[in-house]
Amino acid sequence: MRAHFFIFLFIVSHCVSDEDVKSETGVEENYKLIKLSEVCTCSEIPDYDGTHLVLNVLCSELDRIENVADLDKVEWPPNPNGLKISAAFEGLGLTTLGKLPPNSQVESLRFSNNAIKTYWPDPFSDVPNLTKLSFAQNDLYVITPDLFTKIDRLEDLDLSYNKISDFNPLDFKHLRMVKKFNLQSNQLSKVPLESIMPMTALEHLDLSKNGIFDLLLQRTDGVGLSSLKRLYLNSNRIRSVTKHSFPADNKLELLDLSNNLIEIIEEDAFLPCTNLKELNLGQNNITLVFELPASLQIAIFKINTFYHWPKFPSGIKYIDLSYNRLTSLYDETSNNFQNLEILNIGGNQIKQLDIQKILSNLFILDISYNLLTEIPKTLSEQYLPSLEELRLDGNPIANIYFNNVMVLKTLHMSYMDKLMKVDDKAFSNVVGRGEDETEEQSNCFYLYLSNCQSLSEIHVGAFEGTTVCMLDVSKNNLTNLPQDLLPWSSVSAGINLQFNPWHCSCDLQWMVDQLIPYLYNTNSSYLLDDLRCGSPRAYQHLRLVHWYNWTDRAMCSNGYLRAGPHDTYILEASTEGNPFHMSTMTLILSISIAVSLTVAVVLIIYLVVTRKRYRIRRAALNRKRQSAIDAKHTNGTEKEQYAALNRT
Ligand SMILES: *[C@@H]1O[C@H](CO)[C@@H](O)[C@H](O)[C@H]1NC(C)=O
Ligand SMILES: *[C@@H]1O[C@H](CO)[C@@H](O)[C@H](O)[C@H]1NC(C)=O
Ligand SMILES: *[C@@H]1O[C@H](CO)[C@@H](O)[C@H](O)[C@H]1NC(C)=O
Ligand SMILES: *[C@@H]1O[C@H](CO)[C@@H](O)[C@H](O)[C@H]1NC(C)=O
Ligand SMILES: *[C@@H]1O[C@H](CO)[C@@H](O)[C@H](O)[C@H]1NC(C)=O
């Protein structure tokens, strides 16, 4: 559908009707549909603030739009109120851009998602008030100085996702007002310094996802992109940053150099960037530290090979040094982290954490995937008075115990392979941090303690004296859970016990009686989907919710023991699986078989016996017949005579 939207391309002459049309987003809007030609209609979308005329043209038969380059034939729609015009030529398969007819109201043009490769000279010379222009996702590979002419007011230019590998120094010579320029995803191999230089107002430059290998923002004479505030050079092939990279006293506030191949940064390379607030050097290969400008607030240095902490300025608020080679905490004597709010040092090789200087503003601390073997004593309200979120996942901690009071909203302790049991009082010193200090009720914390493959035991007193608002102990190796572990009905934000090999015996009947009805009736019922028995075998994989609302204490009855002599079949989660009924069936079947067998045996014996008797009788008969024959031979004639006499 979107591909068929077309703007003012065709002669806007026959306004036919007003219709209500449902927009693509499903929002009901009052479109004004204007028939433009045989194949196209133009729809006018009312602008929310009423200052713009937003036009779209729907063309039903794209094959018939042949000479789309013929833009000079376009007639702009009537615009009696002199509204500014925003128009988009998106997804039409345009290959050539024609010259646009005069209109001083046109403010924004989008040619995104076409296949534009060529253009007529000076295509925009009659739309002098154009401030926003997009050629994103086209096939432009070369730009000439006659493309961006007479649009001196242009402020926003998007050439992203094209095939441009180089520019002519005169290409943008008229674009002095451009503030935002997007060149993402082209084929540039260097920063097009000379061509961009005329854009003296340029503040935002996106050069990400090109093949740039050299970071150079100033010419040899020291002139550079001096007004630039935000520069994106991520996902290029830059190898080093030197003291010649940036012009002196530049205005850079944000610099993204992530995902390059940087190994070398000269020690004072960033010092000319006296306004730099955010520096992203993530995903490079940086080993040695360098100096940071005093203005820096956000430092993203993750996924590098730092062995030592860089020296951060005192205004630093956000440090991400995750996935480096750090083995210890920063040097507290030379760093002032008074303003630090977020510290992420996950994925390093830190064995000990000993904070002596208070981090009064820190609210997120991530020390996951390090080499901590116990919960550091330094994790206390005293040193971290504002902490809300603590991540300790993936550390080789075998024993959970918080020595000091720790006030938190969220505690993450998942993926701890060494953890086998959680002892009494493990979390007793963790106190929930309420939204509002005065609100007693909300002083509970969220605990994520999942994916600990060896964790098979949680002692009843683990949460003694503390309040949990959410408990996730899914994907552990738990077979049992004490009923009195928590006041379950006050764990309001969810209880996830899924993917554990629960032993479904009488000990766990309380789950069926209390927990399941509670979860079933809240919007946490999805947490019952994979709450299943791991043992005994007869119940393996059976969902606990199967017993929801059973009148008898199902897991306490021995019914399943009568289920079959081999204990092999699995009860289905349906009401028909009554074990008693099943054993009766088996009994009847066994009796039937026994009876049949008896009958068969009796029958065989009878047959054998009968046959023996028959043989004896036959033998006797034969003998009798023989003696009769013998007798006949002796006095047979007389007997025959007697017989004949009798017959007559
Ligand atoms: C548009 O441009 C004309 C001249 O090119 C100028 O007179 C007019 O003020 C401009 N209109 C707006 C809204 O900028
Ligand atoms: C990072 O540097 C090391 C040596 O310093 C090298 O062996 C490794 O290949 C580099 N990695 C990348 C992605 O360039
Ligand atoms: C999980 O617990 C069972 C006993 O209940 C044990 O045999 C098994 O080794 C445990 N798994 C792990 C990964 O510790
Ligand atoms: C349901 O879930 C939402 C968040 O997903 C939560 O704000 C709301 O309190 C929950 N309602 C109940 C009854 O648990
Ligand atoms: C469970 O039982 C309760 C009370 O006996 C009843 O209100 C509820 O509807 C039953 N739920 C289901 C799913 O059977």
The 10s digit of each residue's pLDDT in 24-63 is 333 334 445 554 444 455 666 666 666 776 766 554 445 4
Measured CA to CA in angstroms, residue 192 lies from 151, 220, 256 at distances of 21, 14, 17
Tell me the best of 51, 85, 104, 152 to mutate to test the pocket of ligand 1, counting ligand atoms within 8 Å of each CB and taking the most: 104
**DSSP, res 234:** -
**Cβ pair 320, 366 in contact under 8 A:** no
H-run or E-run covering 109: strand 106-110
State the pTM of this model: 0.77
Going along 385-504, which residue ranges are E strands? 389-391, 406-408, 410-412, 421-422, 430-432, 445-448, 457-458, 468-472, 495-496, 502-503
494 lines ligand 4 (CB under 6 A): no
- How many CB atoms neighbour CB 544 within 10 A? 25
Q: Tell me the per-residue pLDDT of 378-389, one tens digit each, with 9 for 90 and over.
A: 999 999 999 999
Number of Cβ within a 10 Å radius of residue 528: 19
Mean pLDDT value across the chain? 80
Residue 59, amino acid: C
Which ligand has the nearest atom to the CA of 177?
Answer: 1
Reduced to 3 states, what is the DSSP secondary structure of residue 40?
Answer: strand
| Res 20: pLDDT | 34
The secondary structure of the chain in percent helix, strand, coil, rounded to multiples of 5, reads: 20, 20, 65
Report CA(321)–ligand 2 centroid distance (Å). Answer: 18
CA angle at 614 for the pair 610 and 615, rounded to the nearest 5°: 120
Is the CB of 314 inside a 6 Å radius of any atom of ligand 2? no
Q: Hey, which residues does 298 pair with through a beta bridge?
A: 278, 318
Ligand 3: atom nearest CA of 453 is 13
How many whole angstroms from 285 Cα to the centroid of ligand 2? 6
**Whole-angstrom Cα distance, residue 278 to residue 255?**
6
Characterise 204 by phi-psi region: left (phi > 0), alpha (psi -120 to 50), beta (else): beta
Between 284 and 537, residue with greater pLDDT: 284
Q: Is the pLDDT of residue 233 over 50?
A: yes
Q: State the closest ligand 3 atom to the C-alpha of 420, by its place in the atom list counted from 1.
A: 14
Cβ-proximal residues to 246 (8 Å cutoff; 6+ apart), any chain: 217, 218, 224, 252, 269, 270, 272, 273
Which ligand 3 atom lies nearest to the CA of residue 479? Answer: 5
State if residue 523 touches ligand 4 by the CB under 6 angstroms criterion.
yes
Average pLDDT over residues 432-446: 72
Rounded to whole angstroms, the Cα distance separating 8 from 79 reads 12
Cβ–ligand 4 distance for 522 under 6 Å, the answer yes
The residue whose CA is least distant from atom 12 of ligand 2 is 285
Q: For a pocket test of ligand 1, which of 52, 108, 129 has the largest count of ligand atoms closer than 8 A to its C-beta?
A: 129
* Nearest CA residue ID for atom 11, ligand 2: 285
Taking residues 606-617, report their average pLDDT: 72
